[in-house]
Amino acid sequence: MVPSRELANDLSGLPALPPRTSTAEHAADMLRLQITHGRLLPGTKLREEQISAAFAISRNTVREAFRLLSHERLVDHTLNRGVYVRTLTPQDIRAIYATRRLVEPLGIDAAIGQDTDRGGLRALVDAAQMAAERHDWDLVATSDIDFHRVLISTCHSTHLLTMFEHLLAELRLAFLLLPDRRAFHEPFVARNRRLVALLDAADRAVALAELGEYLDVSERHLLEAVEHPALAGDSARLRTDRAAV
């Protein structure tokens, strides 16, 4: 169980939101960024009064923002306890990866025929590689998520991409539970580069197999981090040591 955290320091310095008809959506956007960038960790209690003061909005608007984030499965509302950044369970992670296995092969098929979109994928792999060389594992994670977002965007389906955006936001919550982000994210830089090469070669069968293995390994490591955090830390250190040899 992830311990509850307090919120005050995490929202310090944020600007007041401009008056607008979609203020609740804007507030939800700001909170979503704080969550997905790791400033509001799983288990953090979101207090209406602090957010209302930080954003200079009404508490009713804060409650509407909470409702939007709850719909996206980024926060949980517990009766008589309040609203907390969601902590994913093993069942949540399995559901995320079951969906990814259904959806991402569509991106493989679409990307094979689109040179421009594959250029975007290649640029993201290069960005991840440079971030890894600087040991910026949060940026590596962001580049990896963006890689799979662009892969799905090659389908040119607004509905599919909107659904996938919500799934990726949940995936970020899972990443925040990792004991060693380098050990998890570093190997996927090479995997993504290999996947782009297979797309360039129009090798659909091998690209699908590579994607399947990618998802299997990623799911296994995240489940290990959630179900056995101490063991996950030891395994992560071992993977890091092997990568350094």
Flag whether pLDDT at 129 surpasses 80. yes
Residue 148: the pLDDT is 95
In a domain, 3, yes or no: no
Residues 230 and 150 in one domain: yes
DSSP 19: P
Please state the domain count of the chain.
2
DSSP string, 175-203: HTT-S-HHHHHHHHHHHHHHHHHHHHTT-
Mean pLDDT of 143-153: 94
| CATH code assigned at 101 | 1.20.120.530
* pLDDT at residue 242, rounded to an integer: 41
Predicted confidence at residue 27, as pLDDT, reads 93
Q: Please state, in angstroms and rounded to a whole number, the distance separating the CA atoms of residues 225 and 245.
A: 24
Query: Residue 57 belongs to a domain with what CATH number?
Result: 1.10.10.10
Cβ contacts of 149 within 8 Å, gap of 6 or more: 161, 164, 165, 168
∠ CA(51), CA(165), CA(13), 5° rounding? Answer: 25
Please tell me whether residues 76 and 193 are part of one structural domain.
Answer: no
What does the chain come to in residues? 245
Q: State mean pLDDT over 143-170.
A: 93
